[in-house]
């Protein structure tokens, strides 16, 4: 049973795994911290929605590296785009400032110079502009399409659909 | 699989603020939510220079900027065309792709040897110049022009190039003439480039014809002096420019960067060289 003097907090992920983490790590999760502070009695176990055990593994890796002053060694290169998105959502839910910064930068790096079509697919977002609206915004931002090394918009004609 | 629509606009804005101005401009086309995030002040604030006093001082030179409502519009205005500051001695612009500061120093801010003597140099207004005055060379043997910029005016952690911006109108004396261009940080290394300011690369000895061998030999020897030397390029504003050198602005301390154009060895008269200034922009 966890007590307030214990240094370990129990977190239960969406897939039912229980992680016992140091209080200091739990403190970096503002969402969890808020739950702990709100509870009058001692908390036995905190469920964290939207967070899976493989996310917790990475969060713990990052925490260990930052405590050792090696946070720069943390890398999400091995994650594919969907996995990175999921991880970002989990970290966003937990409200972890530093790791959020790292992940938003990682997503930004993967988006740089990519075409509108690619980014739509990456984020799974539909174009909700009318053709007229799209044309107007395209014209207004024409300067942004003039870089030398930007991916061409293969499917721009399809925007009309 | 997570639906990315769950990510609030603020989150998308955070991601976009870590890309580049061109990306943020382009990605406003993805969807209405994305557009709202991409156009937000939170994003464009990151692209603008971080020193608020600096922005205020630039706006004070260009009153039309004071009415701009959004950071994106401000960024686009500051990167659209040069703004004249410092009593006509400098112009300022943001490089649209990177948000880095670009400065052009006007010829009026330079130390030009014999520059105050009307026999040698005149200061004239040219409609195609951004500055009120351009330095016009009537004639001179001793060509020595020196300019300086303090790195405090530039963006940190940036590799900058310095470019001499000029025109030649009925010039004489610059063909086959090597000229020394230097750029160096005060107290540090000074690097000199030898260039030829004449953009006409055609060998002139063809004019003499084949019969006059002494003349041809003489001309060939002159041309050898400038074989392979860098030549000027034409800019989009139709002035000529030639790179003088480059330097890295670490901005750990404020330093003075000295630039010079020197030709004092050949002993030949040079005519009709018009200097607009020196542009300092990211490489």
Place A90 in a pLDDT band, splitting at 50, 70 and 90: very high
Structure-model confidence comparison of residues A128 and A7, the more confident one = A128
Residues A86, A92, A96, A98: what is their CA dihedral angle, to the nearest 10 degrees? 80
Q: What is the pLDDT of residues B77-125, one digit of tens each?
A: 999 999 999 999 999 999 999 999 999 999 999 999 999 999 999 999 9
Which whole number is the average pLDDT over B181-199? 92
Q: Using CB atoms, which residue from A85, A125, A138 is nearest to B34?
A: A125
- Smallest Cβ–Cβ distance between B32 and the set A82, A86, A128 belongs to A128
Average model confidence (pLDDT) for chain B?
91
Between A30-39, B143-152, B226-235, the lowest mean confidence (pLDDT) is in: A30-39
What CA dihedral angle connects A20, A21, A23 and A29, to 10 degrees?
Answer: -120
Alpha-carbon radius of gyration of chain A: 21
- Partners of B4 on chain A (C-beta within 8 Å) are 85, 89, 123-125
A2 band by pLDDT with thresholds 50, 70 and 90: very low
Residue A34 sits at φ, ψ, to 5 deg, of -65, -40
Residue A150 has pLDDT above 60, yes or no: yes
Q: Which distant-in-sequence residues (6+ apart) come within 8 Å of A73 by Cβ?
A: A65
Check A129 against B25: CB less than 8 A apart. no
Q: Is the ipTM of this complex over 0.90?
A: no
Q: Distance between CA A28 and CA B173 in Å, rounded?
A: 71
Query: What is the tens place of the pLDDT at every residue in A11-69?
Result: 999 999 999 999 899 999 999 988 888 875 567 789 998 899 999 999 999 999 999 99
Write down the pTM of the prediction.
Answer: 0.85
Q: Which residues of B touch A84 (CB under 8 A)?
A: none
Rounded to the nearest 10 degrees, the angle between the axes of helix B9-17 and helix A97-111 is 70
Burial (CB count within 10 angstroms: exposed 0-12, middle 13-18, buried 19+), residue B104: buried
Task: State pLDDT tens for residues B11-50.
Answer: 899 999 999 999 999 999 999 989 999 999 999 999 999 8
pLDDT reading at A87 higher than 70 = yes
Question: Which residues are within 8 A (CB) of A144 and not within 5 positions of it... i.e. 6 or more apart?
Answer: B21, B22, B23, B24, B25, B26
Do residue A89 and residue B5 have CB atoms under 8 angstroms apart? no
**For residue B225, what are its two tokens?**
């002096």
Q: How far is A6 from chain B (nearest CA, A)?
A: 34
In eight-state DSSP terms, residue B196 is E
* pLDDT value of position A148: 67
> Angle at which helices A81-94 and A30-38 pack, to 10 degrees?
30
Interchain proximity B31–A124, CB inside 8 Å: no
Distance from CA of A87 to the nearest CA of B (A): 9
Residue B273, strand partner residues: B137, B168
């Amino acid at each position: 049973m966890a007590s307030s003097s214990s240094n370990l907090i129990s977190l239960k992920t969406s897939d039912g795994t229980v992680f016992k983490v140091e209080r200091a790590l739990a403190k970096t999760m503002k969402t969890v911290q808020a739950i702990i502070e709100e509870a009058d009695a001692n908390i036995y176990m905190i469920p964290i929605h939207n967070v899976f055990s493989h996310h917790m593994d990475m969060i713990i890796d990052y925490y260990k590296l930052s405590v050792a002053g090696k946070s720069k060694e943390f890398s999400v290169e091995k994650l594919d785009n969907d996995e990175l998105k999921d991880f970002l959502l989990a970290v966003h839910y937990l409200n972890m400032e530093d790791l959020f910064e790292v992940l938003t930068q990682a997503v930004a790096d993967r988006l740089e110079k990519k075409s509108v079509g690619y980014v739509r697919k990456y984020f799974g977002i539909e174009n909700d502009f009318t053709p007229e609206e799209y044309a107007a915004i395209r014209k207004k931002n024409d300067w942004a399409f003039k870089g030398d090394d930007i991916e061409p918009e293969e499917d721009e004609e399809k925007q009309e659909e | 699989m997570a639906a990315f629509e769950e990510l609030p606009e603020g989150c998308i804005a955070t991601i976009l603020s870590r890309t580049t101005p061109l990306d943020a401009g382009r990605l406003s086309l993805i969807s209405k939510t994305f557009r709202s995030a991409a156009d937000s002040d939170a994003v464009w604030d990151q692209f603008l220079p971080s020193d608020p006093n600096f922005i205020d001082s630039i706006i004070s030179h260009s009153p039309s900027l004071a009415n701009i409502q959004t950071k994106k519009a401000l960024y686009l205005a500051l990167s659209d065309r040069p703004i004249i500051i410092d009593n006509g001695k400098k112009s300022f612009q943001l490089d649209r792709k990177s948000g880095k500061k670009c400065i052009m120093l006007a010829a009026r801010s330079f130390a030009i040897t014999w520059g105050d003597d009307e026999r040698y140099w005149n200061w004239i207004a040219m409609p195609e110049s951004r500055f009120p005055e351009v330095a016009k060379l009537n004639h001179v043997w001793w060509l020595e022009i020196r300019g300086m910029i303090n790195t405090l005016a530039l963006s940190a952690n940036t590799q900058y190039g310095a470019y001499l911006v000029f025109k030649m109108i009925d010039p004489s004396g610059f063909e086959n003439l090597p000229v020394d261009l230097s750029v160096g940080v005060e107290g540090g290394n000074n690097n000199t480039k030898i260039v030829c300011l004449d953009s006409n690369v055609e060998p002139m000895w063809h004019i003499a014809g084949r019969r006059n061998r002494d003349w041809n030999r003489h001309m060939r020897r002159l041309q050898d002096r400038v074989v392979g030397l860098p030549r000027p390029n034409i800019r989009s504003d139709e002035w000529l420019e030639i790179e003088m050198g480059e330097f890295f602005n670490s901005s750990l301390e404020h330093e003075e960067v000295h630039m010079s154009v020197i030709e004092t060895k050949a002993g030949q008269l040079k005519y009709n060289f018009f200097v607009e200034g020196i542009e300092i922009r990211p490489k």
